[in-house]
Amino acid sequence: IPHGERYFYFISFISILASAAELAHRQELIISIVLSFILLAILLLFKKQLIAFYKSQIFNKSAVAFLILGVLFLSYLNIKYDKEEFVRYPLILSKKEVWQMDIAKGWQKLNEVTGSGARVAYTGRQEFYPLFGSSLKNDVKYVSVNGKEASPYNKPDGLSRKIKDFTAWRKNLKRERIEYLFVALPFFVNRESEDPSKF
């Protein structure tokens, strides 16, 4: 960078700092900022050594070794994530979200009872990703609470769930061959929906 070298490090630092602020909060943000300062200091203090290392033959071997180790490490993290995914859901809720603890535990239980996969229905709630289960094993379907089908994403907003029809909802569940229904509060309740025999 012939004419812009004096600006390069400053812009790089600002970019790293801005990215850290977007990706992390609280303690993670502090750690990210500290690591950014350390990385910038290393680049400035060992610039000549890093350039010499980049031009040497050792760099290619080191890059290949680093790539292999990186792939193995990412594979380990992926396996670890799959094992702990649903155990971790209740732990990530803040104090303000403690009322959702039962929902998070419900996701965990649903993942256990669905075995190798099942058809799961949801209605109303936005957090449907956990319903897919480990490795996206479940087939998750939105089922309308009345005779009106779900609107495509590009249509104007409407009150499609304002009027509830339990009979139509039950027919929709049967039509979609739903095996598991995940119910979380708030949930519309009437005499029919409280009767287990109706399902």
Whether 89 and 104 have beta carbons less than 8 Å apart is answered as yes
Greater pLDDT, 20 or 49: 49
Q: Determine the Cα–Cα distance for residues 45 and 48; give it in Å rounded to an integer.
A: 8
Q: Over the chain, what HEC string results?
A: CCCCHHHHHHHHHHHHHHHHHHHCCHHHHHHHHHHHHHHHHHHHHCHHHHHHHHHCCHHHHHHHHHHHHHHHHHHHHHHHHHHHHHHHHHHHCCHHHHHHHHHHHHHHHHHHHCCCCCEEEECCCCCCHHHHCHHHCCEEEECCCCCCCCCCCCCCCCCCCCCCCHHHHHHHHHHCCCCEECCCCCCCCCCCCCCHHHC
pLDDT tens-digit map of 53-92 = 778 878 778 888 889 999 999 999 988 888 888 888 877 7
pLDDT of residue 87: 85
Phi-psi region of 136 (alpha: psi -120 to 50; beta: other; left: phi over 0): left
- Going by C-beta distance under 8 Å and a sequence separation of 6 or more, which residues neighbour residue 62? none
At residue 92, the pLDDT reads 75
Lowest mean pLDDT, pick from 41-50, 108-117, 143-152, 161-170: 143-152
Q: What is the pLDDT of residue 152?
A: 57
Q: Is the pLDDT of residue 151 over 80?
A: no
Question: pTM of the entire structure?
Answer: 0.48
**Which residue in this structure is represented by tokens 């403690």?**
98
The pLDDT, as a whole number, for residue 21 is 62
Domains of the chain by residue range: 5-88, 96-198
**Structure confidence at residue 72 (pLDDT):** 95
Counting residues of the chain whose pLDDT is more than 90, the rounded percentage is 9
